[in-house]
């Protein structure tokens, strides 16, 4: 095979794999579900136009030239999307390095590795951009329908920021390999991804709290101070915003810049990609030394199980990055709490739903890892413990971790408002208990490494978990101001949980 044939063939191979992986994710790996998945996806995409209209519909009439405030808001929105794509791309690149599924085969083949890895880099860029296009389509559609075809340029902006995010993600990950080595890169890259993904929003919220005593990001973006600080209307900084509004010159420049960036990264890093992949593989072979643990000495059988779960959670890089992200999202409410404590602001009430929502989400992930993600299922099943005792020990771990993470915040809240603290504590307990129960009812034995695909095992469980977290967050918030509405919201959320139980395979 010639070089170009190999390249085309490998590109086809990568696309086929990516398509099948995506299909498996959508169908939960069940062949008969293709049609249902397609209908579900189309229905979801159609439904997404409603929130898209609510969020973005009023901006459809925006025309160039824009005033500074509009430029700031639009540019920040694009920057936020870019940060999220960069976060997702770093995660994808790390996965490519550490998943050894086909690296041995590729690297032992006589194909030119630089070409092969160029294709793989391009595949990552396409994957990240494809997902972004999928999510942005309802928003661009709304803008096109209400503001004209010029908004189609929005797709071009998505492609440009997708390519540039993928290029930067590859550069960041390979540089991390060089700087700190493969052993630490996996964890650090995930933490960096979490910080980048959440950082921009949190930074804006922190600025809003410190300056205006509110959680609203727009308070900062639309402020006179931001307008005064921002550069003039001819600045390059506004080109993405101009491109999104249909300025063809800006759009072409943006696309060209992103392609040059991606091409540059492919040229510079493709030869190093193989070395990095080998480094990651070697890291998987050479083991990390642990401290001589005393963790399992003494105590009951249930204690041994709980200690094992704590130790594994502590050593789980994914969980650490996700927990860090949850904790990062708690920084603004904590800051708001601190600020409100000094000036008695009413905005403090916003803390409760954020905390309750975070507790539900974290509990769902933890519950999956401890209850479903059992790597030595046979060992635990053949241990002299009843299945109920095993489950109890695992549930206790989830609730203890949730308690440890959220108790300090609830305690701090008690100093400012004992009633709100009590409501938040109840909300956290209900959110965490519901998410844990849903994971318990829909549990399917899996390996911890399959965590990323946990949503595919049961989409109903995933949706129910999300709705119960949102429901308890809303109920807690309403309980502080509108008790009657809170009762209705609480009943509705309880009904969601009850219906989920009714539909679950573990019922009875």
Partner 1 sequence: MKSEQAALQVQGLTKRFDRLAVDALDLTVRAGEFYALVGPNGAGKTTTLRMVAGLLRPDAGSVAIFGVDALSDPVAAKQIMAWVSDEPMIYDKLTPVEYLEFVAGLWGVDPKRSTPAARDLLVSLGLEPHLNERCEGFSKGMRQKVALAGALVHDPSLIILDEPLTGLDALSARHVKGILSERVRAGCTVIMTTHILEVAERMADRIGVIAAGRLVAEGTLDELRAQNGHRNTSLEDLFIALVDENAEAA
Which residues of this chain interact with partner 1, rule CB under 8 A? 283-293, 295-301, 303-305, 307-308, 311-312, 315-316, 375-386, 448
User: Residue 134 CB, nearest distance to partner 1 (Å)?
Assistant: 33
Give whichever of 23 and 284 is closer to partner 1, judged by the CB atom: 284
Closer by beta carbon to partner 1, 182 or else 197: 182
Residue 157 CB contacts under 8 Å (≥ 6 apart), including other chains: 78, 240, 243, 244, 251, 254
- With 0-12 / 13-18 / 19 or more C-beta atoms within 10 angstroms meaning exposed / middle / buried, residue 372 is buried
CA 14 to chain centre: 24
Least CB distance from residue 296 to partner 1, whole Å?
A: 4
**Cα–Cα distances in angstroms (integers) from residue 38 to residues 41, 320, 424, in the given order:** 5, 34, 40
Least distance (Å) between residue 314 CB and partner 1: 9
Contact 350, 336 (CB under 8 A): yes
Least distance (Å) from partner 1 to the CB of residue 30? Answer: 17
Specify the residue, 275 or 375, whose C-beta has the smaller distance to partner 1.
375
For partner 1, the closer of residues 227 and 278 by Cβ is 278
Instruction: Burial-class residue 304 by CB neighbours within 10 Å (0-12, 13-18, 19+).
Output: middle
Measured from the CB atom, is 300 or 481 closer to partner 1? 300
Shortest Å, Cβ 297 to partner 1: 4
State the minimum distance, in angstroms, from the CB of residue 361 to partner 1. 23
Q: How far is the CB of 420 from partner 1 (least distance, A)?
A: 39
Q: How far apart are CA 359 and CA 237, in angstroms?
A: 38
Dist. CA 483–CA 473, nearest whole Å: 14
d(CA 461, CA 438): 6
Closest CA to 218 of 209, 210, 227, 208: 208
- Nearer Cβ to partner 1 (13/392): 392
Beta carbons within 8 Å of 67's beta carbon, 6+ residues apart? none
State which residue, 232 or 384, has the beta carbon closest to partner 1: 384
Distance (Å, whole) CA 430 – CA 473: 10
């Amino acid at each position: 095979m010639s070089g170009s044939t190999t390249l085309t063939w490998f590109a086809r191979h990568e696309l086929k794999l990516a398509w099948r992986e995506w299909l498996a994710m959508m169908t939960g790996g069940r062949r008969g579900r293709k049609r249902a998945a397609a209908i579900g996806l189309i229905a979801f995409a159609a439904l997404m136009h409603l929130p898209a209209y609510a969020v973005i519909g009023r901006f459809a009439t925006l025309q160039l030239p824009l005033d500074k405030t509009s430029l700031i808001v639009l540019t920040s929105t694009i920057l936020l999307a870019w940060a999220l794509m960069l976060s997702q791309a770093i995660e994808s690149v790390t996965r490519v390095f550490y998943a050894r599924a086909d690296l041995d085969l590729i690297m032992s083949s006589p194909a030119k590795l630089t070409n092969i890895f160029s294709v793989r880099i391009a595949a990552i860029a396409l994957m990240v951009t494809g997902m972004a296009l999928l999510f942005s389509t309802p928003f661009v559609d709304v803008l096109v329908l209400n503001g004209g075809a010029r908004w189609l340029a929005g797709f071009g902006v998505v492609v440009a920021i997708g390519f540039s995010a993928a290029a930067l993600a590859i550069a960041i990950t390979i540089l991390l390999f060089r700087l700190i080595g493969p052993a630490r890169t996996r964890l650090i890259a995930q933490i960096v991804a979490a910080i980048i993904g959440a950082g921009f929003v949190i930074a804006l919220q922190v600025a809003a709290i410190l300056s205006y005593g509110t959680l609203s990001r727009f308070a900062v973006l639309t402020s006179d101070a931001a307008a005064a600080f921002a550069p003039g209307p001819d600045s390059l900084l506004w080109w993405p915003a101009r491109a999104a509004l249909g300025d063809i010159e800006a759009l072409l420049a943006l696309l060209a810049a992103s392609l040059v960036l991606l091409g540059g990264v492919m040229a510079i890093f493709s030869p190093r990609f193989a070395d990095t992949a080998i480094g990651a593989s070697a890291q998987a072979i050479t083991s990390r030394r642990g401290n001589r643990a005393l963790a399992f000495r003494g105590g009951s059988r249930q204690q041994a199980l709980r200690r094992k779960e704590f130790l594994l959670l502590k050593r789980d890089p994914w969980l650490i990055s996700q927990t860090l992200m949850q904790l990062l999202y708690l920084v603004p409410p904590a800051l708001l709490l601190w600020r409100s404590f000094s000036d008695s602001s009413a905005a403090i009430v916003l803390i409760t739903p954020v905390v309750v929502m975070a507790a539900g989400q974290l509990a769902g992930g933890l519950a999956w890892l401890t209850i479903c993600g059992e790597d030595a299922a046979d060992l635990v099943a053949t241990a002299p413990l009843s299945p109920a005792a095993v489950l109890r020990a695992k549930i206790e771990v989830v609730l203890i971790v949730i308690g440890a993470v959220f108790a300090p915040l609830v305690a701090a809240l008690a100093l400012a408002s004992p009633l709100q603290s009590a409501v938040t504590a109840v909300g956290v307990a209900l959110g965490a208990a519901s998410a844990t129960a849903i994971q318990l009812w829909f549990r399917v034995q899996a390996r911890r490494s399959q965590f990323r695909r946990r949503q595919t095992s049961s989409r109903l469980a995933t949706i129910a978990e999300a709705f119960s977290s949102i429901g308890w967050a809303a109920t807690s918030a309403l309980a502080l101001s509108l008790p009657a509405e809170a009762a209705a919201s609480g009943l509705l959320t309880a009904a969601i949980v009850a219906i989920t139980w009714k539909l679950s395979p573990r019922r009875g």
